Amino acid sequence: MSLAEVKTEGKSETEKKWTVSDVLKWTTQYFNNNNISESRLDAEVLLSYVLDLERLKLYLEFNRILGKEELSAYKGLIKKRLDFIPVAYLVGQKEFMGLGFFINKHVLIPRPETELLVETVINKIKENFPFSVKEKTEKGKLVKESIPQIIDLGVGCGNIAVSIAKYVKDCKIYAIDVSQKCLEVAFHNSKAYKIEDKITFLLGSLFYSLEGYNLKGKIDFIVSNPPYVKTTEFDSLPPEVRQEPYIALNGGKDGLDFYRQILSQSLIYLKEEGYLILEIGDGQKEEIVDLMKKKGFCSIEVFSDYSGIERIILAQKSTLKEKEIKFLNKNRKH
């Protein structure tokens, strides 16, 4: 049933004067009845988009009466939401790390748990690059200071790369994606925050697009939120999630295809003691940690998200030689 079909006090909804309060109350109940999760939040986000208001300011305008065009636009969004189109796609935006990101159907929608990935990277940058400046004065002379070099694999809308570039004063990021449409969205978001000069956007699969950049053994941080959904589990995902790009979700038969590829190549690009920082799916920690150890990564740390799910794995490239790593792995089995 649509807004226009409901009767209130003998009047059709087209005759009724709808206030912000009325609309939110009705929509929340309507979404609940149609199995839409986060019904109240979705109702508020869609209405704030139509009215061009910050969501919290809706509460200051509870008695505001919606015009016919506003009501019509809102009803159109409700209809699309009932088809399980994610709210972020409907409004074309998603907040991440306190920043607003342009979003469309070609990119994965940023999740709150990925903020932990970005925070982990930023914290490690602060530990390892306390100055983080391109130039400094030392004894009256201008000295160039090294800055962190970062690879972001699977850039999507750019939420990881752009957030790091925004919050780290000086850094160089190589942001890679196999989708040209994703790169276009990411570049748009980098320009919005005027940090596009810090990021080199590259089209290609994982590390292959880096050939010719002379970066082997020179990267301080490799970061990624790779696809980690098992192929057989895709059809059981919530209907909203199934609307997102399949290529950004499908991690292969066991969900670990991309982790294997990243682990096999990242050692080539990382400096000694450089960091690999990955987001992982629920229940994948043990397998990925084991893969890391076999490749020779050390100082492995795991961080849980706010739901208590082990979500982020951090590891360092070992300073041991390849033969030493094989020897240690062999003896660990006995």
Q: Is the same domain home to 192 and 219?
A: yes
Final residue before a domain boundary, out of 83, 116, 140? 83
Task: Please check whether residue 239 lies inside any domain of the structure.
Answer: yes
Task: Please check whether residue 92 lies inside any domain of the structure.
Answer: no
Q: Is the same domain home to 162 and 293?
A: yes
The pLDDT, as a whole number, for residue 328 is: 52
Rg (Cα) of the chain, in Å, rounded? 24
Q: Is the same domain home to 128 and 73?
A: no
Q: Is the same domain home to 191 and 308?
A: yes
Count of domains forming the chain: 2
**Entry field: residues in the chain:** 334
List all residues 6 or more positions away from 72 whose beta carbon is below 8 Å from its beta carbon: none
For residue 59, count other CB atoms closer than 10 A to its CB: 11
Q: Is the same domain home to 193 and 58?
A: no
Is the CB of residue 199 less than 8 Å from the CB of residue 165?
yes
Q: Is the same domain home to 62 and 148?
A: no
d(CA 39, CA 21): 15
- Per-residue pLDDT of the chain (334 residues), as tens digits, is 455 454 444 445 556 789 999 999 999 999 999 999 899 999 999 999 999 999 989 999 999 999 999 999 999 999 999 999 999 999 999 999 999 999 999 999 999 999 999 999 999 999 988 654 455 555 656 555 579 999 999 999 999 999 999 999 899 999 999 999 999 999 999 999 999 999 999 999 999 999 989 999 999 999 999 999 999 999 999 999 999 999 999 999 999 999 999 999 999 999 999 999 999 999 999 999 999 999 999 999 999 999 999 999 999 998 765 545 455 555 555 4
Task: Please check whether residue 137 lies inside any domain of the structure.
Answer: yes
Final residue before a domain boundary, out of 28, 60, 83? 83
Q: Is the same domain home to 113 and 55?
A: no
Give the neighbor-by-neighbor strand order of the sheet with 297-304.
199-203, 172-177, 149-153, 219-224, 270-279, 310-317, 297-304
The pLDDT, as a whole number, for residue 326 is: 55
Q: Is the same domain home to 42 and 185?
A: no
Indicate which CATH number applies to the domain containing 59. Answer: 1.10.8
Give the domain extent around 326: 98-332
Task: Please check whether residue 93 lies inside any domain of the structure.
Answer: no
Indicate which CATH number applies to the domain containing 183. Answer: 3.40.50.150
Q: Is the same domain home to 63 and 192?
A: no
SS (H, E, C) 116-175: HHHHHHHHHHHHHCCCCCCEEEECCEEEECCCCEEEEECCCCCHHHHHHHHHCCCCEEEE
Is the CB of residue 88 less than 8 Å from the CB of residue 17?
no
Q: Is the same domain home to 57 and 171?
A: no
C-alpha atoms less than 13 angstroms from C-alpha of 78 in its C-beta half-sphere: 26
Task: Please check whether residue 146 lies inside any domain of the structure.
Answer: yes
Final residue before a domain boundary, out of 83, 116, 141? 83
